């Protein structure tokens, strides 16, 4: 399945911005489950200095700098991504008490995905929440992950007004609702406390041609957990499901801070700016010229 | 040479004996600590005979005057430091003790080799943890210790400094234990400070006792700024023949501002603040009255946290937005590199002997002090059982802040530190109390009105420059705990300093 | 040379000059009151008017009396141009320059700063005149030490630019205020009070003795204006300031580029220099002294903003 993605981020400044330095996680990942057939990054104003690099997590990041004053900044990332089904093994069925025998090894090896981070602090509120949804000894690990995201979605409704991109776990727990980023962070918190290495994924969810009507689209976020026999396995708490062919991975990290789509610093006489994101993800006809090795 | 000095001062041994008797009488505590000047029989150690005869005994009546003159010189030169927590950056002079500390040539050559060995291993460690991470994969250093360290900077992954030089400047804190052996107490590979005092102390001593310095054969320390500049120039991208170097300071309120001024003047490079710099097209520039001027190498004296608000603390006003991406693009270089702090973490310290073996295939020349990581439950149980026998140090802090010395701590302090350890065990290490060496020091005024000389604890911070040709400044900062019995020598905690003479033969 | 350093030098010099001018102004105004004790409280209003502090003062006080005006003018921190505020600002700039100033100069500025932190109304109890004349001497000492210990280089030039620009503006404001606010009833023009006030104006500029050397005892509008605006040799005349300013800017321009844009005949610098070199008091008074002085101040502001854009702005 091939998808065409157009992800435009537009900043409008109240007073001209200058000395603007940004880092963008906008290029989809190349991995066994997806192939980036084409990628293009356009920045206005012209003359921006752009460098691509690979960060600690292996994400391909663009560093975008603009020195002279400008009233607006537009970053448009266009990708053609082929999503390949059938990669990644089926997680082995394993009861929690067995899983825990390797806990010490996992803690050493995957510590960064098991500890508290900026957006996922192990607060008292989170610990209480975890206590309500803690694993049972004889429960299957994959079932536990599914039960956790189900539990989270039962407790918290999708609500765009209650949190923002800087909201921490405690705010979501207090607010009683949130968006995909919040559900991902909350899931990370619970699973990490349970001892399951878990990481944050930012990306896109292509519309389901069967049920979705074309309309406004937004960037998406979900989690991946390290499961016995299967490696990193995606779960989408917002939609209460395993990730599937419609999930397009862009960046991974410990939390939102590691995978922020566009983040930056600029100078300006007035601090205010407005940001608008336009996202279009749609199935594209497979262009024969690409000739990829789809079986 | 050595025996000649002994013979020459033999005629004055009659004077040494009463001096020794008085001095020994002042030894109220720590009789077991190693005395740098005298052996247990009261004989001067190698090199000290002349200092003793020509300075301590010959000028005994002038010490007050000498010390006053020294203090005045420091004040006139503006050699001051700021103390955190004091109102609006109050300035003080670092108290100076004019009795020099000597290190003989043989001891020094061992130290020199050991220091270079150590810093090379630390540098190799940094290249490894920000690259392949083999030492972590092989479990020689615990992966989780590094990956959960706040000093492990993920932004440093993929920034390979020129010539792989993560560390350009290192300051290694050494102490001499009761057996007379030097031990490493702490590594400083972020922005070590103190070298300006080394040079200024020597300048003052040269004015006070020029003949004695010459006669003793103390090696010169004045070429340090030139050596540092040479190392910095080596980092210049694409081997520019005349690179532009600048020194980045947090500003006039920083505790080490004097040193920043001093080094920039000595090296003849611009002293800049973050707001003087700007990143354009992935290159670094400073804003001068005739426009932007490119900077090739930045000697930064700002911590990682404040270096670049795009990547680190977004509220930092001290840094340079975009600097990290300039470094990654190779548009400029900095010393020391981003992320070096993970190597001088006090918990990582425990693994430094293993690093030396792993990367260099050598045995460590300078031993470290036995260290318990309190994140380890067994070690924690052992230490908490006898807390008053250990020195407890927070892993993240430096400058002597937060250190609790068990034997001299009150019950309340011990209870507090116990609680802190139990709350966050990974943040602390414990070491047995080291009887660090003592040195004759002016301790006040005796009954006769003359200066009283008494033993005071000292440590030692030599400076290593790890350029293409590693070198150790032949000298270093000897800090002295001016309070009787005190083991804490940090300037922020009431310590003073001495000139250190490394003997040429 | 870093822009930040140039900026600190410029502002340190400017604030020192401003503080000094104010110290002199207060002294003279106080003196004038004592010598001419009309008892009218509004006699203090001119001081606030000359310095432009009137509106701000009115926010805190209803009717000015001597004590309130003196305090507000001298050490009120809510007044950004009180002498104390100026000293604080000068010292703050000096602090960042410390390694580039002579130790004597730093010590002098820092001691002045430390002493001034102790000020309260009690300082006037020993005599207002004594306080201000001592203060004025301390500023002279700062100036003297600068001249005696600093090398004449581009850094010194930036200080000169700050000093001279501030001084030229202050001279013109001083004249304007006398013309506007001190102007007594029509019948008094040329009378004793008027003459005394012009003498006070001269004294404010430390110009009385120098003036007498040229014009003798005759104190009148025209020669005073001539002297304070157009005299080429007196260090507090607007003409002198502008000559010094132009020379310093030329040296800076040679070292850093951009001199042409700054002193081009059509630039504020060029226009101001031309006006002051060709000007005659009689003609200027005839066609409106106030308008001329406004023009001088506008041009000074224009020069300031060009200097800022060209050399100082670092954002």
CATH code linked to domain A96-258:
3.10.620.30
SS (H, E, C) C49-80: HHHCCHHHHHHHCCCCCHHHHHHHHHHCCCCC
Q: Which residues, including other chains, have CB under 8 Å from residue B332's CB and lie 6 or more apart? A: B237, B283, B284, B295, B296, B297, B298, B323, B326
Q: Do C50 and C173 touch, CB atoms closer than 8 A?
A: yes
Q: How far is CA B410 from CA B259, B387, B388, B406, B407, in A?
A: 36, 11, 9, 8, 9
Question: Which band of pLDDT confidence, cut at 50, 70 and 90, is reported for residue A125?
Answer: very high
DSSP code for C227:
I
pTM of structure: 0.88
Interface test with A, best of B136, B153, B281, B342 (most A CBs within 10 A): B281
pLDDT per residue as tens digits for the range B339-379 = 999 999 888 999 999 999 999 999 999 999 999 999 889 98
3-class state of residue B253 by DSSP: coil
Beta-carbon neighbour count of residue C254 at 10 Å?
11
Q: Given this model, what pLDDT does residue A276 score? A: 93
Question: Which band of pLDDT confidence, cut at 50, 70 and 90, is reported for residue A168?
Answer: confident
DSSP code for A212:
P
Which contiguous run of DSSP H or E holds residue A4? strand A2-24
Q: Given this model, what pLDDT does residue C260 score? A: 61
The CB-side HSE value for A191 (13 A sphere, CA atoms) comes to 34
Burial of B68 (0-12, 13-18, 19+ CB in 10 A): exposed
Q: Given this model, what pLDDT does residue A146 score? A: 94
Alpha-carbon gap, residue A27 to A203, rounded angstroms: 10
Alpha-carbon gap, residue B47 to A162, rounded angstroms: 75
Q: Given this model, what pLDDT does residue C41 score? A: 47
- Rounded to the nearest integer, the mean pLDDT of chain C is 86
Highest mean pLDDT out of A78-87, A214-223, B453-462 = B453-462
The pair of structure tokens assigned to C314 is: 């670092």
Question: Which band of pLDDT confidence, cut at 50, 70 and 90, is reported for residue C286?
Answer: confident
What's the mean pLDDT in B302-324?
90
The pair of structure tokens assigned to C198 is: 């012009």
Please answer yes or no on whether C256 and B252 come within 8 Å at the CB atom: no
pLDDT per residue as tens digits for the range B205-262 = 998 889 999 999 999 999 999 999 999 999 998 767 889 999 999 988 888 888 999 9
- The alpha carbons of chain B give a radius of gyration, in whole angstroms, of 23
Q: Where are the beta strands (DSSP E) in B115-274?
A: 169-176, 182-188, 245-248, 270-272
Residues of chain B positioned with their CB less than 8 A from the CB of C4: 273, 275-276, 287
Nearest CA in chain A to C315: A267
Give one DSSP letter per residue of A25-83, joined into a string: --SPPPBTTEEEEEEEEEEESTT-EEEEEE-TTS-EEEEEEE-S-EEEEEEEEEEEEEE
Residues of chain B positioned with their CB less than 8 A from the CB of A23: 310-311, 325
Nearest CA in chain C to A18: C315
- The interface pTM score, or ipTM, of the predicted complex is 0.90
The pair of structure tokens assigned to B471 is: 């070198």
User: What subunits make at least 3 CB pairs under 8 angstroms with C?
Assistant: A, B
Tell me which residue has tokens 């949190």: A163
Dihedral pair phi/psi, residue A71, rounded to 5°: -85, -25
The CB-side HSE value for B258 (13 A sphere, CA atoms) comes to 23
Residues of chain B positioned with their CB less than 8 A from the CB of A107: 144
Q: Given this model, what pLDDT does residue C43 score? A: 62
Interface residues from chain C to A (CB-CB < 8 Å): 315
- The shortest C-alpha distance from C315 to chain A (Å) reads 8
The pair of structure tokens assigned to C233 is: 């040799």
Q: Do C220 and C190 touch, CB atoms closer than 8 A?
A: yes
Q: Given this model, what pLDDT does residue B452 score? A: 83
Tell me if chain A has a CB within 8 Å of the CB of B322: yes
Alpha-carbon gap, residue B434 to B489, rounded angstroms: 14
What's the mean pLDDT in C193-210?
84
Burial of C233 (0-12, 13-18, 19+ CB in 10 A): exposed
Q: Given this model, what pLDDT does residue B3 score? A: 38
Dihedral pair phi/psi, residue A74, rounded to 5°: -125, 130
DSSP code for B223:
T
pLDDT surpassing 80 at residue C194: no
Q: Do B457 and B480 touch, CB atoms closer than 8 A?
A: yes
Using DSSP bridges, classify how beta strands B283-288 and B390-394 pair: parallel, antiparallel or unpaired: unpaired
Tell me which residue has tokens 């800090």: B479
Q: Which residues, including other chains, have CB under 8 Å from residue B395's CB and lie 6 or more apart? A: B345, B346, B347, B426, B427, B428, B429
pLDDT surpassing 60 at residue B93: yes
Q: What is the dihedral of CA C223, C228, C232, C236, to 10 degrees?
A: 150
Q: Determine the straight-line distance between the first and last CA of chain A, rounded to whole angstroms.
A: 12
Residues of chain B positioned with their CB less than 8 A from the CB of C3: 276, 287-289
Out of B76, B251, B288, the one facing C1 most closely (by C-beta) is: B288
Enumerate the β-bridge partners of residue B288. Answer: B291, C2
Residues of chain A positioned with their CB less than 8 A from the CB of C314: none
The full set of domain ranges for chain C reads 1-150, 152-315
Q: Which residues, including other chains, have CB under 8 Å from residue C52's CB and lie 6 or more apart? A: C81, C173
Largest CA-CA distance found in chain A, in angstroms, rounded? 62
Instruction: Give alpha helix (H) positions in C76-218.
Output: 83-97, 103-116, 128-149, 154-180, 192-204, 208-215
pLDDT surpassing 70 at residue B11: no
The pair of structure tokens assigned to B315 is: 């509220």
pLDDT per residue as tens digits for the range A26-47 = 999 998 889 999 999 999 999 9
pLDDT over 90 for what percent of chain A? 68
Please answer yes or no on whether B252 and C98 come within 8 Å at the CB atom: yes
What's the mean pLDDT in C227-254?
94
Q: Do C69 and C57 touch, CB atoms closer than 8 A?
A: yes
Tell me if chain B has a CB within 8 Å of the CB of A111: yes
Q: Do A91 and A228 touch, CB atoms closer than 8 A?
A: yes
Q: Do B165 and B234 touch, CB atoms closer than 8 A?
A: yes
The full set of domain ranges for chain A reads 2-84+261-288, 96-258
Neighbour-count burial for A81-119, b at 16+ CB within 10 Å, e otherwise: bbbbeeebeebeeebbeebeeeeeebebbbbbbbebbeb
Question: Which band of pLDDT confidence, cut at 50, 70 and 90, is reported for residue C189?
Answer: low
Tell me if chain A has a CB within 8 Å of the CB of B115: no
Nearest CA in chain B to C106: B78
Question: Please, what is the Cα angle at B44 between B434 and B203, to 5 degrees?
Answer: 80
What's the mean pLDDT in B311-337?
92
Q: Given this model, what pLDDT does residue A290 score? A: 47
Tell me if chain B has a CB within 8 Å of the CB of A6: no
In this predicted structure, which of B130-134, B195-199, C129-133, C243-247 has the lowest mean pLDDT?
C129-133
Tell me if chain A has a CB within 8 Å of the CB of B309: yes
Please answer yes or no on whether C314 and B276 come within 8 Å at the CB atom: yes
Q: Where are the beta strands (DSSP E) in B249-348?
A: 270-272, 277-280, 283-288, 291-294, 297-300, 333-335
Residues of chain C positioned with their CB less than 8 A from the CB of B271: 99
Q: Given this model, what pLDDT does residue C256 score? A: 80
- C18 vs B53, higher pLDDT: C18
3-class state of residue A230 by DSSP: coil
Q: Given this model, what pLDDT does residue A293 score? A: 43
pLDDT surpassing 90 at residue B309: yes
Tell me which residue has tokens 């981070």: A117
pLDDT surpassing 80 at residue B399: no
Interface test with B, best of C8, C93, C99, C109 (most B CBs within 10 A): C99
What's the mean pLDDT in B273-279?
95
pLDDT surpassing 60 at residue A7: yes
Using DSSP bridges, classify how beta strands B245-248 and B297-300 pair: parallel, antiparallel or unpaired: parallel
Q: Do A278 and A215 touch, CB atoms closer than 8 A?
A: no
3-class state of residue A12 by DSSP: strand
Tell me which residue has tokens 């004695």: B212
The full set of domain ranges for chain B reads 372-432
Alpha-carbon gap, residue C229 to C281, rounded angstroms: 8
pLDDT surpassing 70 at residue B78: no
Burial of B16 (0-12, 13-18, 19+ CB in 10 A): buried
What's the mean pLDDT in C61-81?
84
Q: How far is CA B20 from CA B11, B27, B56, B440, in A?
A: 16, 10, 11, 10
Tell me if chain B has a CB within 8 Å of the CB of A255: no
Closest CA to C112 of C144, C134, C96: C134
Residues of chain A positioned with their CB less than 8 A from the CB of C315: 18-19, 267
Please answer yes or no on whether A56 and B280 come within 8 Å at the CB atom: no
Q: Do C229 and C241 touch, CB atoms closer than 8 A?
A: no
Alpha-carbon gap, residue A137 to A236, rounded angstroms: 24
Q: Given this model, what pLDDT does residue B181 score? A: 95
Please answer yes or no on whether B154 and A258 come within 8 Å at the CB atom: yes
Q: CATH number of the domain at B372-432, out of 2.40.160.20, 3.30.1490.270, 3.40.630.30, 3.40.50.10710?
A: 3.30.1490.270
Q: Given this model, what pLDDT does residue C8 score? A: 95
Overall fold of domain A2-84+261-288: Immunoglobulin-like (2.60.40)
What's the mean pLDDT in C212-234?
91
- The shortest C-alpha distance from A19 to chain C (Å) reads 9
- Report the sign of the C-alpha dihedral through residues C301, C307, C310, C311, in that order: negative
Q: Given this model, what pLDDT does residue B491 score? A: 61
């Amino acid at each position: 399945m091939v998808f065409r993605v157009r992800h435009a981020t537009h900043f409008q400044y109240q007073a001209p911005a200058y000395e603007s330095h940004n880092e963008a996680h906008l290029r989809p990942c190349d991995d066994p489950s997806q192939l980036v057939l084409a990628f293009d990054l356009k920045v206005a104003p012209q003359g921006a200095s752009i460098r691509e690099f690979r960060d600690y997590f292996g994400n391909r990041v663009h560093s975008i700098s603009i020195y002279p004053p400008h009233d607006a900044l537009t970053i448009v990332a266009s990708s053609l991504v082929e999503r390949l089904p059938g990669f990644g093994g089926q997680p082995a069925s394993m009861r929690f008490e067995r899983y825990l025998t390797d806990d010490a090894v996992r803690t050493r090896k995957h510590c960064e995905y098991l500890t508290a981070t900026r957006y996922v602090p192990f607060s008292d509120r989170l610990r209480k929440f975890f206590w309500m949804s803690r694993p049972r000894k004889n429960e299957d690990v994959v079932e536990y992950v599914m039960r956790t995201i189900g539990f989270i979605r039962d407790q918290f409704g999708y609500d765009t007004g209650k949190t923002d991109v800087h909201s921490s776990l405690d705010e979501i727990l207090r607010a009683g609702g949130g968006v995909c980023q919040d559900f991902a962070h909350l899931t990370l918190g619970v699973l990490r406390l349970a001892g399951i290495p878990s990481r944050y994924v930012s990306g896109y969810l292509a519309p389901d041609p069967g049920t979705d009507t074309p309309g406004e689209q937004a960037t998406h976020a979900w989690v991946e957990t390290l499961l016995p026999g299967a490696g990193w396995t995606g779960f989408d708490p917002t939609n209460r499901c395993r990730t599937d062919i419609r999930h397009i991975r862009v960046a991974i990290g410990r939390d939102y801070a590691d995978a922020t789509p566009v983040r930056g610093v600029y100078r300006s006489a007035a601090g205010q700016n407005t940001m608008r994101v336009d996202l279009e993800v749609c199935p594209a006809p497979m262009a024969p010229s690409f000739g990829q090795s789809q079986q | 040479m050595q025996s000649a000095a002994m013979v020459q001062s033999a005629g004055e041994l009659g004077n040494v004996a009463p001096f020794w008797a008085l001095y020994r009488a002042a030894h109220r505590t720590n009789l077991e600590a190693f005395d740098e000047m005298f052996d247990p029989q009261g004989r001067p150690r190698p090199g000290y005979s002349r200092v003793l005869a020509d300075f301590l005994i010959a000028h005994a009546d002038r010490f007050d005057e000498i010390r006053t003159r020294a203090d005045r010189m420091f004040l006139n030169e503006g050699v001051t430091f700021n103390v955190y927590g004091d109102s609006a950056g109050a300035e003080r002079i670092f108290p100076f003790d004019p009795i020099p500390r000597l290190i003989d040539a043989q001891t020094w050559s061992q130290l020199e080799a050991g220091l270079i060995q150590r810093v090379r291993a630390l540098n190799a460690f940094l290249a490894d943890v920000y690259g392949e991470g083999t030492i972590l994969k092989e479990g020689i250093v615990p992966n989780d210790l590094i990956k959960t360290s706040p000093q492990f900077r993920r932004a440093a992954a993929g920034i390979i400094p020129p010539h792989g030089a993560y560390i350009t400047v290192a300051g290694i804190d050494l102490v001499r234990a009761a057996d007379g052996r030097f031990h490493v107490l702490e590594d400083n590979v972020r922005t070590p400070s103190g070298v300006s005092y080394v040079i200024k102390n020597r300048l003052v001593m040269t004015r006070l006792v020029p003949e004695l310095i010459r006669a003793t054969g103390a090696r010169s320390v004045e070429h340090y700024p030139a050596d540092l500049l040479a190392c910095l120039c080596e980092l210049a991208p694409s081997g520019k023949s005349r690179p532009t170097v600048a020194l980045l300071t947090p500003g006039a309120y920083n505790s080490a501002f004097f040193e920043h001024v001093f080094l920039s003047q000595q090296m003849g490079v611009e002293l800049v603040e973050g707001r003087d710099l700007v990143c354009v097209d992935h290159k670094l520039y400073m804003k001068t009255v005739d426009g932007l001027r490119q900077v090739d190498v930045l000697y930064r004296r700002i911590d990682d946290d404040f270096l670049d608000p795009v990547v680190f603390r977004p509220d930092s006003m001290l840094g340079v937005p975009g600097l990290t991406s300039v470094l990654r693009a190779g548009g400029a270089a900095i010393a020391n590199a981003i992320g070096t702090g993970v190597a001088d973490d006090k918990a990582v310290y425990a693994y430094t002997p293993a690093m030396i073996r792993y990367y260099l295939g050598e045995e460590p020349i300078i031993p470290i002090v036995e260290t318990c990581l309190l994140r380890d439950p067994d070690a924690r149980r052992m230490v908490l059982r006898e807390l008053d026998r250990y020195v407890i140090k927070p892993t993240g802090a430096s400058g002597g802040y937060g250190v609790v010395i068990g034997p001299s701590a009150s019950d309340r302090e011990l209870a507090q530190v116990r609680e802190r350890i139990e709350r966050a065990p990974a943040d602390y290490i414990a070491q047995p109390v080291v009887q660090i060496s003592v040195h004759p020091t002016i301790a006040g005024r005796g009954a006769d009105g003359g200066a009283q000389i008494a033993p005071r604890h000292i440590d030692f911070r030599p400076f290593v420059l790890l350029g293409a040709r590693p070198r150790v400044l032949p000298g270093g900062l000897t800090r002295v705990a001016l309070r009787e019995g005190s083991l804490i020598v940090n300037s922020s905690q009431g310590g003073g300093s001495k000139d250190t003479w490394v003997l040429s033969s | 040379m870093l822009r930040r350093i140039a900026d600190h030098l410029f502002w340190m010099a400017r604030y020192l000059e401003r503080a000094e001018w104010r110290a002199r102004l207060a002294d003279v105004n106080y003196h004038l009151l004592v010598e001419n004790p009309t008892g009218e409280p509004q006699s203090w209003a001119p001081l606030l008017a000359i310095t432009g502090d009137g509106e701000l003062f009115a926010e805190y006080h209803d009717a000015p009396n001597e004590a309130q005006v003196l305090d507000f003018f001298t050490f009120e921190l809510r007044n950004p141009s009180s002498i104390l505020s100026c000293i604080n600002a000068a010292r703050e700039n000096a602090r960042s320059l410390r390694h580039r100033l002579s130790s004597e100069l730093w010590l002098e500025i820092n001691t002045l700063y430390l002493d001034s932190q102790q000020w309260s109304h009690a300082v006037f109890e020993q005599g207002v005149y004594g306080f201000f004349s001592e203060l004025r001497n301390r500023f002279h000492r700062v100036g003297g030490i600068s001249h005696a210990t600093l090398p004449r280089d581009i850094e010194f030039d930036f200080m000169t630019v700050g000093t001279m620009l501030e001084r030229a503006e202050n001279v013109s404001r001083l004249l304007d205020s006398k013309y506007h606010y001190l102007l007594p009833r029509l019948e008094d023009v040329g009378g004793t009070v008027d003459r005394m006030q012009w003498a006070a104006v001269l004294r404010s500029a430390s110009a009385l003795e120098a003036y007498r050397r040229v014009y003798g005892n005759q104190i009148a509008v025209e020669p005073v204006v001539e002297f304070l605006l157009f005299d080429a040799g007196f260090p507090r005349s607007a003409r002198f300031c502008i000559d010094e300013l132009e020379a310093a800017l030329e040296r800076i321009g040679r070292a850093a580029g951009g001199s042409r844009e700054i002193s081009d005949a059509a630039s504020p610098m060029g226009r101001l220099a031309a006006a002051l070199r060709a000007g005659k008091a009689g003609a200027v008074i005839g066609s409106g002294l106030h308008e001329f002085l406004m023009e001088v101040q506008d041009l000074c502001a224009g020069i300031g903003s060009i200097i800022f854009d060209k050399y100082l702005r670092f954002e």
